[in-house]
Amino acid sequence: MKNRAFTYIEVLISVMILGFVLIPLLSQFYTGFQGNVIAELVTQSIDLADELMEEIKSRRFDENNFPDEPVSPGALGVVDSGESSNDRRTFDDVDDYHNWQQSPPQAIDGSELPNFSEFGRTVFVEYVTVSGANWISSGVTTYYKRITVIVSHPKISDRRLETIVSHY
């Protein structure tokens, strides 16, 4: 009988030791899992930004007869005749996207993208010029526009994708 009591104590001590060892190990697995979730959200946000950027870059530089009748910087993003601010299919040049935002993201046909309900996208378009090695906002009409696509999600910092397009 004395032998059995000792065995139960050994089992109890073994379980306690195992518990003390497993708790830190399990927390490492949880931390690793959270890192994977964040990495997946970052990848999805970059993909959303890239998809929208490619759509914008497929549009004309300017709908007017540039450079003879360019869109003024103050008119960037103004909805023109035949365009709808709610329907990207009607956007015919890059500046139509200025100040455009959408949450949750939708495909160009207006259908909601599945599994992206917490994401949001915002676009800014501005005329830029070169100053040294940097592109700076010009405030006047130039041959270059900077397109900035920002994708937001509550669990990660905003992802920003920028490109310069040219009339040339």
| Residues 86-98: tens digit of each pLDDT | 889 999 889 899 9
The one-letter amino acid code at 13 reads I
The one-letter amino acid code at 131 reads S
Cβ 124 vs Cβ 95: under 8 Å: no
- Alpha-carbon distance of 38 to 17, in angstroms, equals 33
- Alpha-carbon distance of 110 to 107, in angstroms, equals 5
Q: How far out from the chain centre does Cα 57 lie?
A: 16
User: Residues 6 or more apart from 86 whose CB is under 8 A from it?
Assistant: none
pTM: 0.78
- Alpha-carbon distance of 98 to 83, in angstroms, equals 13
pLDDT at 63 over 90: no
| pLDDT at 161 (0 to 100) | 97
Q: What is the mean pLDDT of residues 153-167?
A: 95
- Alpha-carbon distance of 128 to 166, in angstroms, equals 10
By DSSP bridging, strand 134-137 and strand 156-166 are: unpaired
Look at residues 44, 46, 41 and name the one whose alpha carbon lies nearest to residue 156.
41
Which residue matches tokens 């900035």?
Answer: 148
Cis peptide before 104 (omega within 30 of 0): yes
